[in-house]
Structure 1
Amino acid sequence: MEEDSVKIRKYSGELVDFDIEKLKRSLRKSKVTEALIEQIANEIDGSLYEGMTTKQIYSAAYKMLKSNKSGCASLYKLKKAIMELGPSGFPFEKFVAAIIEAEGFKTEVGVFVQGHCVMHEVDVVATNKVKQYMVECKYHNTQGRVNDVKIPLYIQSRFVDINTHYKHINGHQALFQEGWVYTNTRFSSDAIDYGRCMGLKLVSWDYPKGKSLIDKIEQFKLYPITTLVSLSKNDKIKLLESGVVLCKELWANPDVLMEAHIDRKKHNQILSNCHELCKV
């Protein structure tokens, strides 16, 4: 008789069967060797118990990765690292702007734009030779948050209000040709359906396939400094307050470590960790 699967508890509180292949897939995304994947998977499988949380499993895998290879550990904690960008959400807006710039746009963050009814603060305005985009960022610092249909409904209403104002001014020309919404978590199926119907582009952690937030991060090597296992929580706060969001920024301007009063003994390790993440 086959042994029953161990039930683990997701962030939402739901109990599900533990899937060891899902754990292995998440480790492969972090560029972990197959030998280390098998070692970690076997250790976690052997220590499972009924009701163990996905957070506890993640923490155990991360601890094992960190003791073996810091670069892999940094990649494995990427989703959590983005949630560590700060309570205000502004570093996330800068992070999204950097991704959009890597796609060939010029960007401005935190732009006030007059609408037909009210003034709006647009998180990111992105411009290329053909179009201008209104980009809104929905940042969450906890797991399991889903952006329901109210989010794209609200963003679309702002998009319409701004474009109505500009069409009244010049007779036909809208200020923004497309609206976008970026989030570091997920969208509900209704939110995705509404976005498709209205032509509002949605980008979440894993949507759309091939062009999701994680896909873009990996494509352009745009990892936030919060991924660096060589930085303490206090170090990350200091760097974010200095306006440094990306590992690439830190790698290009290492003097910022001195300016942010990061312990000199850690500089080489931090920069080595940056290089490992940013190298093509």
Structure 2
Amino acid sequence: MMRKTNKRLFCVCMQTSQNILITKANGEQELFNSEKLFRSLVRSGAEKETAEGIVEEIASNLAEGDQTRDIYHRAFARLKNIKNHMAARYSVKHALLELGPSGYPFEDFLKEIYIALGYTAKTRVIAQGRCVEHELDVVAMRGNERIGAEVKFHNSSAVKSDLKVALYVQARFEDIAAQSGAQTENDFTNKFLITNTKFTKQVEAYAACVGLQLISWDYPAQGNLRELIEQTGVHPISCLTTISKLTKRRLMDQGVVLCRQVREHMDVIDSLGLSPQSVARLFQEIDALC
């Protein structure tokens, strides 16, 4: 049970910790933002008093140069001690990094987000360009809207999608659009580049110039990946805390990429050799999360 938070002490910790530099995954340093940590904890489902207690505990033990990943693991551990599903929801950003190494599970995950938004969607679709054929990672349709999306997956949060990626993606869409006598199915009303990490500022500037739409974890301000996940309730299997990484990988290898898909694939669950108690804990977490 989280102890009751002293409001005055919490405010003091919040103010003091704002002056401590922490180290991001890419080696850059930034000031610790206790309010940002607090908001992420509340979004995970933690009560405000619980979130305050976790922030107070982390801030009071913070040292100059601490790694952001270590801060994440401390907060994750505290949430997991309270409720597994809160820890699962809090870990979604990191869980997306595990939808590899091929990136296909991430493409399948994005397809399910579009389906949850009312689109019909497919992955790995062949489209004929003027010069060559192209395999588009995700194609989604709803009414007169047709979306073509290229996906750039990274297994490290330190890696950003840079300008050469955007140039390459834009060139592919231009070749498809230039196909002589192109059929309607190759005419996209919206062209997207989607990544599970971040874009460089150059990419953002270039995309705005050529009309290429971007989605990353926190870009754009509205309609980013974090918001889409919260809006649709589509959670990756990799965020679950009650099964091992190996079990998650085996599920993904069988095409199970969403938490809510697990009950639809009981044959796969049976093949994993989990104990009845483990299966019960798994379903309990999924029910609370979804």
Q: Secondary structure at the match of 2:178?
A: helix
174-183 or 23-32: which moved more? Answer: 174-183
Give matches, 1:26-37, under 5 Å.
Answer: 26-37=40-51
What's the counterpart of residue 4 of structure 2?
A: none
22-31 or 87-96: which moved more? Answer: 22-31
CA distance in 1, matches of 2:130, 2:218: 34
- Partner AA of 2:203 in structure 1: A
Query: Structure 2: which 5+ runs fail to align?
Result: 1-14
Whether 1:267 and 2:279 are equivalent positions in the alignment is yes
What's the counterpart of residue 8 of structure 1?
A: 22
Whether 1:159 and 2:173 are equivalent positions in the alignment is yes
Structure 2 length normalisation: TM-score? 0.88
What count of residue pairs does the alignment treat as equivalent?
275
Give matches, 1:26-175, under 5 Å.
Answer: 26-165=40-179, 168-169=180-181, 175=187
- Partner AA of 2:210 in structure 1: M
Distance 1:234 1:3, change over 3 A: closer
CA distance in 2, matches of 1:262, 1:143: 31
CA distance in 2, matches of 1:139, 1:11: 16
CA contact under 8 A between 2:127 and 2:186: conserved in structure 1?
Answer: no
Give the C-alpha shift of residue 255 in structure 1.
Answer: 4.1
**Sequence identity, in percent?**
37
Give the C-alpha shift of residue 272 in structure 1.
Answer: 1.0
Distance 1:116 1:102, change over 3 A: same
Structure 1 length normalisation: TM-score? 0.91
- Partner AA of 1:62 in structure 2: F
Q: Secondary structure at the match of 1:206?
A: coil
CA contact under 8 A between 1:258 and 1:264: conserved in structure 2?
Answer: no
Query: Structure 1: which 5+ runs fail to align?
Result: none
59-68 or 250-259: which moved more? Answer: 250-259
CA distance in 2, matches of 1:173, 1:19: 46
Paired residue for 1:202, among 200, 214, 228?
Answer: 214
CA contact under 8 A between 1:92 and 1:139: conserved in structure 2?
Answer: yes
Give the C-alpha shift of residue 150 in structure 1.
Answer: 2.2
CA distance in 2, matches of 1:232, 1:43: 28
What's the counterpart of residue 253 of structure 2?
A: 241
Give the C-alpha shift of residue 110 in structure 1.
Answer: 1.0
Give the C-alpha shift of residue 264 in structure 1.
Answer: 3.2
CA distance in 2, matches of 1:245, 1:91: 6
- Partner AA of 2:153 in structure 1: Y
CA contact under 8 A between 1:93 and 1:137: conserved in structure 2?
Answer: yes
- Partner AA of 1:115 in structure 2: G
